[in-house]
Structure 1
């Protein structure tokens, strides 16, 4: 019988790391806040006076009556009803139980966000492997055979023309460890002995490859067995050259092309392992940061549709990223039962997925980075789309892409169209107070909101200058205090963001002209399409009540004084999108173009 401290008993305990601690703290803190609110606000609050009674009717089996003041479908009530059936010991009609519906979704939301970030990282890694694979195939010469290591399969990925894909099969430890990975390994908690053993193994493999390369053989068996004292790893790497001509050619620079697909695969395996070891806590913290967005977190303790709406639309995005589009369509339909206006986000997700596949399948498509796009790029993009559609040779691929990306969502979108036609409005009830209209400034409010709450992400995404990188490396070597390093990076990020924003808005004659046109367009939108809804000033328990009364409504000139602020916020958001697009779009576009060259 093992003692409590034995390894067998420790395996039964969850791994204690920063991510798990943060998740537990977030759940406990949210539960305490929910309990405090339930004790001090035991009666329905604000719009709960409509939602709670309707949910109660569902809980007792009354599905035939629906409050005419409710503008949304019964998605929230159906989820509460399902929880009530699963947990029959609780009273489904109790307001505390109904509020707990959103509390459960709120606690799960950070983990959903972390999964979305991890899925994005996996996609970027696979596209980078595609790029290296195409590079090997091109430099191997016409008809070169490339040996696929374990974990690869011959199948297309995301509509790209590449046929080399990476699966999630477990990999052997790598024969080489790049410097960047070595730096990350120290943060990941990998022992120095393990890193040193892998480096020694890489040196022996490099020496074996160099010796065999000097013999001029067509096949270079680099069977290097290295069993480190702490790793116990045995790795065999074989590089297959297509012809003796290539064997006798001078060696290429070290960083130009990887030695083999095995080295690509092994390096990728290390990156995945390191990312999972160091990245779980980071992704979890990122997810909790987003979940703590004040308006979202606040409604997690009330019986509102906000949290459920966000949760299921993000679940739709995750399924699309993982190529599970039928599941995504189902979850998208569920999100529409919370908020009908989620159809906008649903169309955005489908269009983004389709555009991403089109960019990889058709490199001729003009799709510039958001941070580099101008007004002239709109016409070029339309012209490139027309050119692709007009080429009959592209018919098969276009049909395949449309079928894969759009077909699962057609029934959902058709259902929304039927509902609007049958109901006469996008809202379910109280249609007299919820009329559709052109409200362009709402997009401007969204940009301002996103910039105010998203400034840490905008600053963190800015590339550091060379002097700042050197200073940061020096501080790391001297083990300078983390606060000093963080403050210097913050100041540098602010300076970089300011310079980039000014350069993009005023850095050239065309930039000045574009800024002037956009300022005029925003001014016209504010002057012509600003809508003051009666409900905006009907309840002083909303933040928007005070913002509108004390800022926007104070003087008419205030609305127009915010025009340059809106434009600066829009430019900062596009710069952030451009930075996020660089790694993803360049790798996918280059991968597709390499594939086309190899096919020729």
Structure 2
């Protein structure tokens, strides 16, 4: 029932807004000027012509081809279209992402129930609708871009990986690369953490024995104080024989390690001892990775077209931008008085380590901002993006502003890591941070839509918040969505651009 409610709710706003967008902006907009003609070439049966300005593989065009083909027989029957390519209009192609947005919301709903079984159907439904309203994801629901379909493929890959259906998961992983090449990082992330979960299931006795040892030790202390040895032995037997769910065992075992090094050592030892089982189970992911490496060798790089504009660059400031943007998009989690006090309380437990961690964070952020802030020509040339105004009116408003934002960057990432660490293992948090870095740091262009997939994965693993905060966040997203839509549809663009940059025509 929850899936139906989620899909119906998303369709309820997406379909009429898509119709409004198509009536006001019927022609291809921004990067659609590349994607729409390329998809129409596919509709004509021309699979050899390729626009050299397109950097991503043709996954979206194949999906659109199948999607449009599904309603072509009806159009042909009523003589609305004599040939297949006639119905591949801009509006029809854009509607592909409307369907994909519904699929994303349903997948998020199922993932949340899988990751947090105790959340309940009603809360999972509300969360899924809320994520569908996330402004960046919401806006590209109505344009013909690769991001919504890419998110759908990644979420499907994650869902089947959690269900331990690895062949299906790897298939969706391979398909996700056809939308965006950087999704290969998420294949590695899901496969690595899936392998860790897999070996935890192979060694449940170790986790149970550790959990039972602590519980039994506490029970003995209580009972021995009363001088009842017989009761202590009986209590010990009851605890050892009591059933413990695997999810509880894995969750509890994550807190038994005293350090990250100890946790890594234990995982590596278990992986080595079970290498044959793990290699067999996760062979599908290895096949996908080998195919991807072969593609890079054949293509001479990860990007398909416009290689000179998408050169891999050490854009470490991009990592900091993601932290602040994601924290701002989740205000109730990160910027409430309780959250600030919680972080201060945590730092007060070990003042020396906390001081060193903050000092290191500030120092590394300063280096990233000072030496690795990249102003891509596209960022300076196109005022149809929010990043154009954020860069010019905020970050570059004066020479000092970009350094004044450093404490906010550090706070945002400390808050994200602290919240994730409450429900995930240290290794999971570390692998997530490294994955975000590998996805974002090589990208020279600042684009908020690059942040959508890591943002959604992060929300899936954040603790559940109350209905009031959810309502406040939903209202905030709705206001941002309406504002974006009004600016997009009704604001006349008077082009601004930095001197010396290419001026885009519209």
**TM-score for both structures, normalised by structure 2:** 0.68
| Structure 2 residue matching 1:87: 3-state secondary structure | helix
2:359 maps to 516
1:36 maps to 20
Kindly indicate whether residue 428 of structure 2 is the aligned counterpart of residue 573 of structure 1.
Answer: no
Which is worse superposed, 376-385 or 39-48? 376-385
CA contact (8 A) 1:72 1:427 kept: yes
Partners of 1:382 and 1:352 lie apart in 2 by 12
Partners of 2:375 and 2:361 lie apart in 1 by 23
> Among residues 183, 201, 226, which one is paired with 1:342 in the alignment?
183
Partners of 2:98 and 2:386 lie apart in 1 by 22
1:518-557, aligned counterparts within 5 Å?
518-557=361-400
Query: Structure 1 511/407 Cα, relative in aligned 2: closer, same or farther at 3 Å?
Result: same
1:148 maps to none
Partners of 2:176 and 2:387 lie apart in 1 by 25
Kindly indicate whether residue 98 of structure 2 is the aligned counterpart of residue 103 of structure 1.
Answer: yes
Kindly indicate whether residue 170 of structure 2 is the aligned counterpart of residue 294 of structure 1.
Answer: no
> Among residues 43, 60, 76, which one is paired with 1:76 in the alignment?
60
Query: Structure 1 300/420 Cα, relative in aligned 2: closer, same or farther at 3 Å?
Result: same
Query: Structure 1 22/110 Cα, relative in aligned 2: closer, same or farther at 3 Å?
Result: closer
User: How far does residue 103 in structure 1 lie from its aligned partner after superposition?
Assistant: 0.7
Partners of 2:303 and 2:49 lie apart in 1 by 17
> Among residues 331, 339, 342, which one is paired with 1:497 in the alignment?
339
Query: Structure 1 436/538 Cα, relative in aligned 2: closer, same or farther at 3 Å?
Result: same
User: What does the per-residue CA deviation read over 1:486-509, in whole Å, with 9 as the maximum and x for residues that have no partner?
Assistant: xxxxxxx93431222113345412
2:276 maps to 399
| Structure 1 residue matching 2:400: 3-state secondary structure | helix
User: How far does residue 520 in structure 1 lie from its aligned partner after superposition?
Assistant: 0.9
CA contact (8 A) 2:110 2:159 kept: yes
Report the structure, 1 or 2, having the larger helix content.
2
CA contact (8 A) 2:324 2:412 kept: yes
> Among residues 402, 410, 413, which one is paired with 2:289 in the alignment?
413
1:447 maps to 323
Kindly indicate whether residue 292 of structure 2 is the aligned counterpart of residue 308 of structure 1.
Answer: no
Partners of 2:276 and 2:401 lie apart in 1 by 50
1:15-30, aligned counterparts within 5 Å?
23-30=7-14
**Structure 2: any 5+ residue segments left out of the alignment?**
76-85, 211-249, 429-506
> Among residues 312, 324, 327, which one is paired with 2:168 in the alignment?
327
Query: Structure 1 541/564 Cα, relative in aligned 2: closer, same or farther at 3 Å?
Result: same
CA contact (8 A) 1:523 1:563 kept: yes
**Structure 1: any 5+ residue segments left out of the alignment?**
1-14, 126-274, 460-492, 586-600
User: What does the per-residue CA deviation read over 1:46-100, in whole Å, with 9 as the maximum and x for residues that have no partner?
Assistant: 1110000000000010111100000011111101111122211354421111001
User: How far does residue 382 in structure 1 lie from its aligned partner after superposition?
Assistant: 4.8
Pair member with larger Rg: 1
1:280 maps to 121
1:125-274, aligned counterparts within 5 Å?
none
Kindly indicate whether residue 353 of structure 2 is the aligned counterpart of residue 353 of structure 1.
Answer: no
CA contact (8 A) 1:71 1:429 kept: yes
User: How far does residue 22 in structure 1 lie from its aligned partner after superposition?
Assistant: 5.9
1:129 maps to none
Partners of 1:335 and 1:118 lie apart in 2 by 23
> Among residues 104, 107, 115, which one is paired with 1:112 in the alignment?
107
CA contact (8 A) 1:110 1:290 kept: yes
CA contact (8 A) 2:64 2:96 kept: yes
Query: Structure 1 25/360 Cα, relative in aligned 2: closer, same or farther at 3 Å?
Result: closer
User: What does the per-residue CA deviation read over 1:236-288, in whole Å, with 9 as the maximum and x for residues that have no partner?
Assistant: xxxxxxxxxxxxxxxxxxxxxxxxxxxxxxxxxxxxxxx7xxx3232111111
Alignment root-mean-square deviation, CA: 3.0
User: How far does residue 30 in structure 1 lie from its aligned partner after superposition?
Assistant: 1.0
CA contact (8 A) 2:107 2:156 kept: yes
User: How far does residue 573 in structure 1 lie from its aligned partner after superposition?
Assistant: 0.8
1:61 maps to 45
CA contact (8 A) 1:540 1:546 kept: yes
User: How far does residue 341 in structure 1 lie from its aligned partner after superposition?
Assistant: 0.9
User: What does the per-residue CA deviation read over 1:192-212, in whole Å, with 9 as the maximum and x for residues that have no partner?
Assistant: xxxxxxxxxxxxxxxxxxxxx
2:313 maps to 437
| Structure 2 residue matching 1:113: 3-state secondary structure | helix
Partners of 2:107 and 2:347 lie apart in 1 by 36
| Structure 2 residue matching 1:540: 3-state secondary structure | coil
User: How far does residue 569 in structure 1 lie from its aligned partner after superposition?
Assistant: 0.6
CA contact (8 A) 1:19 1:281 kept: no
User: How far does residue 359 in structure 1 lie from its aligned partner after superposition?
Assistant: 4.7
Partners of 1:23 and 1:32 lie apart in 2 by 15
Query: Structure 1 455/359 Cα, relative in aligned 2: closer, same or farther at 3 Å?
Result: farther
User: How far does residue 360 in structure 1 lie from its aligned partner after superposition?
Assistant: 5.3
Partners of 1:295 and 1:60 lie apart in 2 by 32
> Among residues 380, 399, 407, which one is paired with 1:564 in the alignment?
407
CA contact (8 A) 1:506 1:515 kept: no
